[in-house]
Amino acid sequence: MISDYILEMNSIDKSFFKVKVLDAVTLKVKPGEVHALIGENGAGKSTLMKILMGIYQRDNGQVIINGEEVVFRSPHDAITHGVSMIHQELNPILDMEVSENIFLGREIKTTNLGPLSLVNKKEQRLQTRALFSRMGINIDPRALMKNLSVAQRQLVEIVKAISLSARVVIMDEPTSAITDKEIKTLFEQIFKLKAENVAIIYISHKLEEVLQVADRITVLRDGRLICTDEARNLSHDQLISMMVGREIKEIYPKQIVETGPVVLEVKDFCRVGHFQNISFSLRKGEILGIAGLVGAGRSELVESIFGITKPDNGELFVDGRKIKIRHPQTAIQQKIALITEDRKYTGLNLKTSVEHNISIVGLDSLSRFGLINMRKEGEVAESQIKAMRIKVFSRKSAVSSLSGGNQQKVVLAKWLMTKPEIIILDEPTRGIDVGAKRDIYLLIGELARAGKAILMISSEIPELMGLCDRILVLAAGRLTGIIERKDFSQEAIMRLASKFEAANHE
Amino acid sequence: MSEKAINEKSRVNLASIRELGIFAAFVIIMVILMILSPNAFARPANLINILKQASINGILATGMMYVIISGGIDLSVGSIVALSGVIAASFAHPGEYPLIVPIVLAIVTGALVGFLNGVGVAYGNIPPFIVTLGTMTIVRGIALIAANGQPVFNVTKEFERLAGGFVFGVIPNLVVYFIVITLILAFILTRTVFGRRVYAIGGNETAAQVSGINVERIKVAVYTLCGFLAGIAGILLASRIISGNPTSGQAYELDAIAAVIIGGVSMSGGAGKWYGTVIGALLIAVISNGLDILNVSSHFQLIIKGLIIIIAVLIDIKGKRKL
């Protein structure tokens, strides 16, 4: 019997500690199609994919590949059956070069001495170069992984999956860290793969993108299959309401707030190789967005404002007073908070509890003579968990057990403990689901209404347009324009953001 | 009421599998030894003796625990024990100085070495393993030079009583020091801002720095504390062996590290409980005491001790996967 489908996952059940995380979920994928899998965090997408990859074992149901029932005990089994996955969290070996990462575990050998064989680096580089040129990617196969940008690492990962001659490729949030131009390159790759009859399971939170690239869409919610349909029959709003299980009237709840005096002024900020001559001011109650492509110097700029790195030149005024910030401590004393982009790297201590993460910046206010008032700490943590609607079993739970959206709320809660007046957010909604995004948007709006000044970096232009009063655009480390809310348009922002694009990609 | 419920839940959450594991292992080993040797091992006098045997390593392990939680390691503590012992004994000859002088000088010496370790790690950005490997060798050399290569004998009775004395005639002073020091440092680790910051820098140094924590200063403090405790351990050892021996304390750093790791403190920093370290130190003492009583040769004891370290870490890793 020949099936229409390259992959069928039928009535998959899975429970963890008696909690059902997948309940009779069915996913059928045709060869040569892009099948988007969407749903909020915790909907069961990752679990389903981990079952497919052999990382978890299903409790019930069957997996059929090419008409043959299979049981994968490890990712290795999955890969040999032509299923490979590009993970959301990339795991390259940073001290190896690009070609070595591509051929990791299946090195090309010069001799046949088993584990003692010599690796034919030259041939690996040659083949890598061929793969890259076939896909129009401009990366040196000899470059060390650690010297590549996140976006470039992602492209390498994609090439690696493709070079495994996979028939089903799972892409988990492939565009969460790459620029619009690189997304275009990625989509070109996807179309080439389709032409070669490869099936792609595409997981993303960016619905615009999903509607653009997917042929069919499957929506999961709370471990159940909600719908599978042709993408052209579905609209953005329909998808959202299926994902969250309720109507969302407005995704961006913008409140117009009367702005007050200037609280932060940045003058002629320069850091060689990162940004130059940046000047702007931020008012009380204002939400000021920073747009720009990845690599435009946005994160580097706010890191210098916050004292993590030292600017080479420039002045900073808080409430009209000139301040020198050389360490985050000074910034915190000036009532500035920075919610960094990379939760796992700079935001959280994943080895400890939600409570201890929330309290760490504000410990001084919870202690006397260096002794922590643990009752007060617990109360504050509880109230923050409630106020931020962090979904967690207990404040003592490990923060690593939370979903991305809830982890991000923990980072926000931690910084709000310091009662900041100036709040800098770097990609506050990166990689989190629609429901948590909306919670964060509402919170940002409330903070602005409470008179906080907000500086917000985002790569999602609709998000900036929805929330901000003004948007500041950076390109190649330079300030290319500041747009007022009434003049917002995607085109205007993109034009300013790509001003030096040619110069940047020499 | 809800507050109480939350507290109870959290207690279950906190008692992570690996600590239960090590506690269970400790109890099982105790029971086995009591059955095998009801008359010798299980006698109260012997149990107190075990506490005494655990005490110097226990004090070193407490300092080591701070360092390991902060994400580092300190190999120099054994050499510090020797140097501070030599210094203490040199200033404890009868009729020269009051008892406080050798005590203060030895402790200051230990703390100073620790401080230098901390400066090297925090401001020199040298890996802790390298810095303390260097000072381990240097300090051993200084101890040998200071003592002319020979043990320093002829100390006062008072000095001898520091470790050799008893409280109420039954509890060895050593055990009292061990308990008091452990409790104070446990309190600092769990209840103070400083303690919380030690965990924070070990858990994620970058995040700690972004959170406004002065990472360098905390590191210097942690290594200084570890050196300070090694200084105390040095005095106690010199008092116990009634001399300052420049070759004493060899491999003490490894026993301290073993106690910390058996106790479930993560080698990569950021996690671990003080009572785990106490159990780790006790377990090491119980094993050597029990095996001595059972007439197992000291050569075999080494093998058993090594196996227990590996098994403890294995439990640690398996436990984490399950969580």
* Mean pLDDT to the nearest integer, A15-30: 87
Write out A192-252 in H/E/C secondary structure: HHHHCCCEEEEECCCHHHHHHHCCEEEEEECCEEEEEEEHHHCCHHHHHHHHHCCCCCCCC
Q: Using an 8 Å Cβ cutoff, are B264 and B69 in contact?
A: no
Regarding whether A381 and A300 lie in a shared domain, the answer is: no
Check the CA dihedral B194-B200-B201-B202 and report its sign: positive
Minimal-distance CA residue of chain B relative to A358: B211
Report the C-alpha gap between B43 and B22 in whole angstroms. Answer: 24
B6: which 2 tokens?
A: 């939350």
Check the CA dihedral B239-B241-B242-B248 and report its sign: negative
CB burial class (10 A; 0-12, 13-18, 19+) of residue A39?
Answer: buried
The answer to the question of residue A369 being in a domain is yes
| CATH code of residue A502 | 3.40.50.300
Chain B residues with CB-CB distance to A325 below 8 A:
none
Closest CA–CA distance from residue A444 to any residue of chain B (Å): 20
Domain enclosing residue A442, as ranges:
248-335+420-506
Check the CA dihedral B240-B242-B244-B245 and report its sign: negative
pLDDT tens per residue across span B259-300: 999 888 888 899 999 999 999 999 999 998 999 999 999 899
Nearest 10 degrees: CA dihedral of A254, A256, A261, A266? 30
pLDDT value of position B75: 98
The answer to the question of residue B15 being in a domain is no
Are residues B196 and A348, on separate chains, in Cβ contact within 8 Å?
A: no
Report the C-alpha gap between B224 and A356 in whole angstroms. Answer: 25
Q: What string of DSSP letters covers B226-290?
A: HHHHHHHHHHHHHHHTTSB-TTTTTTHHHHHHHHHHHTT--TTSS---HHHHHHHHHHHHHHHHH
pLDDT tens per residue across span B29-80: 889 889 988 888 988 889 999 999 999 999 999 999 999 999 999 999 999 9
pLDDT tens per residue across span A400-447: 888 888 999 999 999 998 899 999 999 998 877 777 888 899 899 999
Minimal-distance CA residue of chain A relative to B9: A394
Could you tell me if A364 lies within 8 Å of chain B, comparing CB atoms?
yes
pLDDT value of position A241: 79
Closest CA–CA distance from residue A163 to any residue of chain B (Å): 31
pLDDT value of position A243: 81
pLDDT(B112) > 90: yes
The answer to the question of residue B5 being in a domain is no
Classify B132 as helix, strand or coil: helix
What's the structural domain count of chain A? 3
The answer to the question of residue A79 being in a domain is yes
Name the residue facing A349 among B9, B194, B207 (closest C-beta): B207
Most A CBs within 10 Å: which of B193, B265, B321, as the mutation test of the A interface?
B193
Are residues A346 and B207, on separate chains, in Cβ contact within 8 Å?
A: yes
Regarding whether A504 and A383 lie in a shared domain, the answer is: no
B29: which 2 tokens?
A: 């080993």
Does the pTM surpass 0.95? The reply is no
Q: Using an 8 Å Cβ cutoff, are B162 and B254 in contact?
A: no
Name the residue facing A352 among B10, B193, B199 (closest C-beta): B199
* Beta carbon pairs, A and B, within 8 Å: 94
Are residues B196 and A371, on separate chains, in Cβ contact within 8 Å?
A: no
Q: Indicate if ipTM > 0.85.
A: no
The answer to the question of residue A362 being in a domain is yes
**For residue A129, how many C-alpha atoms fall within 13 Å in the half-sphere facing its CB?**
10
The answer to the question of residue B245 being in a domain is yes
Nearest 5°: phi and psi at A262? -70, 130
Q: Which of A211, A244, A277 is the last residue of a domain?
A: A244
Regarding whether A374 and A484 lie in a shared domain, the answer is: no
Are residues B208 and A360, on separate chains, in Cβ contact within 8 Å?
A: yes
Domain enclosing residue B118, as ranges:
46-322
pLDDT value of position B9: 40
Closest CA–CA distance from residue B271 to any residue of chain A (Å): 6
Q: How far is CA B176 from the centre of its chain?
A: 15
Could you tell me if A55 lies within 8 Å of chain B, comparing CB atoms?
no
Closest CA–CA distance from residue B243 to any residue of chain A (Å): 39
Chain A residues with CB-CB distance to B14 below 8 A:
396
Closest CA–CA distance from residue B213 to any residue of chain A (Å): 7
| CATH code of residue B120 | 1.10.3470
